[in-house]
Structure 1
């Protein structure tokens, strides 16, 4: 049976492992060991779960997390006549284990994230898709925007 829910502290080890799996390409090119990564990523996740600005949805099947989607609330500067707490959601770290892909799990997690975002007055959701994920996000109602600009350094 599939359960979609918010992550809690008991999920940290599984989420770290999935991030490690998700980052296979970067891992190949770097010297980070799993133990070192586990320490860094666990600290991030614990802080995130407690922060009130990060929310992590997971899909669980038979007590195993098989998919996740992270949402960070980005607070905006208030404007006269607008919401007293303007914010939008940044969607990131979306991953489904290969054996569970193409079964609608990602779409169901996205629906939970979207509904939560609407219920909690987020103005919109934003993400930077990989080229492989554009079709998934398009199917789930995201559209390309030409409004954002980026500046990179280093």
Structure 2
């Protein structure tokens, strides 16, 4: 069982991965974006939602995730050890993010974004179920003009 200091280090490492994912990009209007929920639904965002950081492009996102996974046992050693003790769900979320980026459209970016966010924020015991739920969600694009927003 990790000590309180180890838990803080683990949480800092989880958040550092998410911060690196966004690369310091400013928050922008999410109008037209999709927000995937780890609870199995999609929310279509409009101008009335708060600004969100934009996820990286496909190539940039894959390169970042590749670097994180290459440094998994060194730079993120505390997180890696804790994740191994939990069966590896955080690492699986990061791998799922990389696989989502194989979809060349915006949907792949949005799915990857939620997987990276889950790796930072979701309790490890819920991550695998959330990955499976998101994988089952439809991928059809949202037509802003049709929806009238």
TM (norm. structure 1) is 0.26
Is the radius of gyration larger for structure 1 or structure 2? 1
Higher normalized helix content (fraction of residues):
2
> Greater RCO between the two (CA within 8 Å, min separation 6)?
2
